[in-house]
Chains A and B, each alone.
Chain A
Amino acid sequence: MLGLDRKDFILLLVVFALVVLAPFLLNPFPTNSAMAQFNAGYPDLMQRFVIFGIFAIGFNLLFGLTGYLSFGHAAFLGVGSYSAVWMFKLLSMSVVPAIIASVIASGIFALLIGYISLRRTGIYFSILTLAFAQMSFNLAYSVLTPITNGETGLQITLADPRILGVTATESGSIPVTNLLGAEMRSTYIMDVGTWAFQFNVGYYVCAAIMLLAFYVSVRIFRSPFGLMLRAIKANKTRLNYTGLNIRPYTLAVFVISGMYAGLAGGLMASMDPLAGAERMQWTASGEVVLMTILGGAGTLIGPVLGAGVIKYFENIFSKINSSVLESWFAFMPENMQHAAVYVSEHFVGPGWHLTLGLLFMLVVTFLPGGLVEGGQRLSRLFRRKPQKDAARDSTQSNPAE
């Protein structure tokens, strides 16, 4: 189906179902319950899940397949965002030219940086990409302010030309981003009992693009091209003496990966038309590295999982404050409540970084293959139980790809 084998097609279907049903799946708790804090099914976060999913999928094409660890991928995301916002400022509020421009601009930028950085391998390559990205960030924050609007970030204003659209709406506001007239921010809220499920146009646009990006990534994994990339990671020497030229392969995947990042940046700007320089900082580049490794580098679905987990922590755990904790532990006697609040306070709200740090350490220590390995172990555990006495199940699992 769609040029995929059965296993991959099922995976694609599962991802499709998860993405389409996300507004339900991410909102398991009734709006008024104490657990509603853990609901993640609101447009902004759902958009972020899929956008960072795209970013991580693209990063994984480079890192997971070839083993080249880029520490400057956020620069492409930033370039994508800036290009998209400039399209909104100059052309129109339609997301189509913005997304196209972001992919093209980041592709060109990746070509330039990749051409130079790929002259080196290993950590030397990592530092070259880091250096380029940090230079981009530092300049965007200061000297390039006329293009990037520096600290405050590039925003659309009432004074923008927008030659194919309108400068301001009739009511005097800034027009909003749209796709063929459908506004990215429009949201249906479906009330079912005490649940409220939100269906956002922007999310489904991002989700559709993410599914496409995911599908393309599966195809790349399963193509001769992808095989060559994995061969680069496995043994560069043998590849050299097998008549294959490594440089164009690495450069091609670097550019593809940069375009994925640019696409993610363009989508971010399309959902929320603002591009800040800190999107390009090394910490942002580090974040996508962590997402990929946390989820499982070199696997198809891992990077998406990793992106989801990190964004979930950032947006959900950081919002749990002491008064929320007090209400959770309200059933306890007062002393115990205080103790429980005191202890848990360190891990949520201002302490969400701590939880994230601990998670990194635990996952990488006990699940070397990332969350995907965790999932495999779980499924093996469940699968084995019913057929305990049956003929020995093949314990050798296929690599999760």
Chain B
Amino acid sequence: MGILEVKNVGKRFGGLKALSDVNLSVAENSVHAIIGPNGAGKSTLLNCLVGKLIPDTGSVMFDGQSVLGRKPYQINQMGISRVFQTPEIFGDLTVMENMMIPCFAKRDGAFELNPIRAITAQKDIIAHAESVLADMNLLEKRDMHSASMSRGDKRRLEIAMCLAQEPRLLLLDEPTAGMARADTNNTIELLKEIRDKRNITIVIIEHDMHVVFSLAERITVLAQGTPLVEDVPAKIKGHPKVREAYLGESQPA
């Protein structure tokens, strides 16, 4: 029984069948990648996991509980964090402020009405945020305006924000999209470190085979809304069905 169990999920947009009969089981503390050509339904599936979309059929269970019908913030409170394709951070705020928000969300829940307690008095939150920043090599930038950071640092910050919540499942949506090779490699190293150091399950949606094969323990190939194969990376490489699905995309970028 995996920590994330997706059963028979289907989703239609009007006449278009975006997902049908998707079954997926992600084992705890593993790295699971979902790959597939453009339009295969990867993002739709992800959105079904985080509550942005509600599937028409099937079920999504996280740690034995259904996520369906819950709002994104509720699903996050269950222990699922998400990293976006383009880093979504609080651009107007400093790095430290960015970090504190998930920390508060983790400690105080979805809403806490106490408008006048001081941030500066929240020593545990500050300490925790700083330790995660240190882990991510961002500590020296703690007072920087986050919008003015480089893209790689923004990505790092976003991941740091997710990790600060100590999620049980981290969802990454094409974390290296649009990155230069060097940045991509840095990100791979970062994710490897996270994988190795923390007790965390990672589901990664990726286009870039290099990233996938460096990180994943299991890979699901999605095509036209349905899982084609699921296996360990070594077997996925050179699998005829996968080649078929990627035909014409000899250089998946």
Contacts and interface: CB of A to CB of B under 8 A. Distances in A.
A337 B111 CA distance: 65
Residue in A222, A238, A245 whose Cβ sees the most chain B Cβ within 10 Å: A238
A115 to B, nearest CB: 15
Given A235-B88, A243-B76, A224 B100 contact: yes
Nearest 4 pairs of A and B residues by beta carbon: A243-B76, A234-B90, A219-B116, A243-B105
A224 B111 CA distance: 11
A267 B41 CA distance: 59
Given A219-B116, A220-B116, A256-B115, A231 B108 contact: no
A223 B101 contact: no
Contact of B114 (A5, A223, A248): A223
A246 B110 CA distance: 8
Nearest to B109: A243
Interface string B57-84: 0000000000000011110110001101
Interface string A1-32: 00111000000000000000000000000000
Contacts of B110: 243-245, 248
Interface in B78-126: 81-82, 84, 88-93, 97, 100-102, 104-106, 108-122, 125
A226 B115 contact: yes
Interface residues of A, number: 32
A61 to B, nearest CB: 9
Given A5-B120, A224-B100, A243-B105, A231 B113 contact: no
B118 A223 contact: yes
Contacts of B115: 216, 219-220, 223, 225-226, 252, 256
Contact of B119 (A223, A237, A239, A240): A223
B118 A241 contact: no
Interface of B: 50, 71-74, 76-77, 81-82, 84, 88-93, 97, 100-102, 104-106, 108-122, 125, 161, 165
7 contacts: A223-B114, A225-B117, A237-B84, A238-B161, A242-B101, A243-B110, A245-B73
Nearest to B171: A241
B91 A3 contact: no
A256 B105 CA distance: 22
B72 A227 contact: no
A220 B165 CA distance: 24
B116 A223 contact: yes
Contact of A241 (B88, B90, B122): B88
Given A220-B115, A224-B112, A231-B101, A243 B89 contact: no
Given A238-B90, A244-B111, 10 more contacts: A3-B116, A220-B116, A223-B115, A223-B117, A225-B117, A228-B101, A239-B90, A243-B74, A243-B165, A244-B110
Given A240-B73, A241-B76, A224 B119 contact: yes
Nearest to B93: A234
Residue in A216, A237, A239, A249 whose Cβ sees the most chain B Cβ within 10 Å: A239
A305 to B, nearest CB: 22
Contacts of B122: 224
Interface of A: 3-5, 216, 219-220, 222-228, 230-231, 233-235, 237-246, 248-249, 252, 256
A245 B91 contact: no
Contact of A237 (B76, B88, B108, B116): B88
A231 B90 contact: yes
B104 A230 contact: no
A243 B116 contact: no
A240 to B, nearest CB: 5
Contact of A224 (B84, B88, B90, B104): B104
Contact of A244 (B73, B89, B118, B119): B73
A223 B119 CA distance: 5
Contacts of B77: 243
Nearest to B146: A234
B93 A240 contact: no
Contacts of B97: 227, 230-231
A242 B117 contact: no
A217 to B, nearest CB: 10
A243 B73 contact: yes
Contact of B91 (A5, A234, A252): A234
A69 B110 CA distance: 24
Nearest to B102: A242
Contacts of A245: 71, 73, 110-111
B81 A235 contact: no
Given A223-B116, A225-B114, A231-B93, A244 B81 contact: no
B161 A242 contact: yes
Contacts of A226: 115
A226 B100 CA distance: 12
Contacts of A256: 115
Contacts of B121: 3
Contact of B89 (A222, A235, A240, A252): A235
Residue in A227, A238, A242, A245 whose Cβ sees the most chain B Cβ within 10 Å: A242
A225 B122 CA distance: 12
B113 A248 contact: yes
A242 B76 contact: yes
Given A234-B93, A241-B50, A243-B106, A225 B113 contact: yes
A233 B110 CA distance: 17
A220 B88 CA distance: 25
Contact of B101 (A4, A5, A244, A252): A244
A255 to B, nearest CB: 10
A249 B71 CA distance: 16
B102 to A, nearest CB: 5
Contacts of A252: 113, 115
Contacts of B112: 224-225
Given A224-B108, A244-B110, A239 B101 contact: yes
Contacts of B93: 227, 230-231, 234
A235 B120 CA distance: 23
